[in-house]
Amino acid sequence: MIRSNTTASGKPRTSRSRALALGLAALVSLPLLTSGPAQAKGNFPSPEGSTSTASILTYADTIKELEKIEKTSRYGVDVFTLAEAGTAVNTSEQGRDLYVATVGDGPQDVWVQGRIHGNEPYGAEAILSLLKDLGTNGSAQYEEIRDAFTIHFIPMYNPDGSELNIRQTVLWDTAANAPRKDANGRDLIVDLNRDWVADKFQARESLAFYEYWTMVDPDYGIDIHHQGLKQQYGTGDDVTLSLGISLAPGGPTLPTLEGGAYDVLTRQMHGYVYEELKGTGYITMDRYQVGGSLEIDIKGGVVSAMMLGLDYQGLNPEGHSNPVVFFETSGNTSDGSLGQKARGKSIQQNILAMRTLLTGLANGEVQQTDPEVWEEIPHAPVTGYSTDYAGTIPVTP
């Protein structure tokens, strides 16, 4: 692939140092959110109320909504496939087109992805809602975001898994038009969020979106997920939204990247979101942890590979990297906890979190946030790091 001094959207590339700088001068702060106690209200999250698959966006629904948003936008929403963007691989394992929508004409690029796990549906819906708002809303807040950034929205990273309502995708034999099988005759499945690794890239989706990432060279990233039901450490309140970083701040890896800059900036990104949204009555937040008290340090995740500056097959020779954070909404289809009664609030909290973070990055307030706010986000005392390369690494006293 021939690289140029412009991004995939035709804008000049910005240096990594600019992405880590203080950013733009403050223009308009985020409007005050509803005040109230941090504890979640009513049945949010809740397994109550059957969530019919008819209420979850399909691949066809997503395309239809993208085309509608593009047609009705006032501020230049551009919807295209990776085939149109020019990536060498540009369809899913089963041959579905992979879609991206951009909005904004700012000098810095932001990567926002949802539904990399097919059974985690609300990232797609939240992304489409925020995309619509950015394309139609003329308020100062949205104008500020559009002026600062070109945002690359990927509402459905994993269309095959989404259609099957499974976490992974199925590797496909295109000649036989059937799943590929392992030695025991079982379908070969791949977790797309563990596939951006130098000796993997098993799925077509991984190859396609990785190349597009190298074309964009984003400055920031946001990833939307779901998790099971959980309670906030210390209060027992039901958690609705967990704030996560795939390479643990202060852990084995993140402090070594970019001279420690990502270790600081990712803390600031989530610290800012926490400070702005902790008074929202229906949102109860904590830090994303596993096994009760472990932070994750997963190098094989897509957003980890972005922070590590992965160079696969020479497509990223300069070692571009960018900081990324993720949001985890409580409730998923796998264990029956994605209650219909929680649907609206589940989607809305993701919209609020994304919009809040984009606003804070645009006006420079994120970069002015005390990174120690990260320690104030409710979490169990950290006893170790759950890794995909060395098992569990205990915290050393």
Is the peptide bond between 45 and the residue preceding it cis, with omega within 30 degrees of 0?
Answer: yes
Domain at 16-394, CATH class = alpha beta
What per-residue confidence (pLDDT) applies to 4?
43
Q: Domain residue spans in the chain?
A: 16-394
pTM for the model stands at: 0.89
- The phi and psi torsions of 114 (rounded to 5 degrees) equal -135, 160
Amino acid, single-letter form, for residue 373: V
For residue range 99-139, list pLDDT tens digits in order: 999 999 999 999 999 999 999 999 999 999 999 999 999 99
What are the pLDDT digits (tens) for 259-291?
999 999 999 999 999 999 999 989 999 999 999
Q: Which DSSP helix (H) or strand (E) runs through 352?
A: helix 343-363
Average pLDDT over residues 342-364: 95
Q: For 56-72, how does the pLDDT look when each residue is reduced to its tens digit (9 = 90+)?
A: 899 999 999 999 999 99
pLDDT at 235: 95
42 Ramachandran zone, left/alpha/beta (phi>0; psi -120 to 50): left
Q: Is residue 186 over pLDDT 70?
A: yes
- Run of H or E including 10: none
Q: Are strands 78-81 and 99-103 parallel, antiparallel or unpaired?
A: antiparallel
pLDDT tier at 342, thresholds 50, 70, 90: confident
Q: Please calculate the CA angle 122-116-205 and round it to the nearest 5 degrees.
A: 145
256 to 219, 247, 264, 323, 388: CA distances (angstroms) = 18, 11, 11, 13, 18
Q: Which of 1-10, 95-104, 192-201, 281-290 has the lowest mean pLDDT?
A: 1-10
Count other Cβ atoms within 10 Å, centred on residue 159.
28
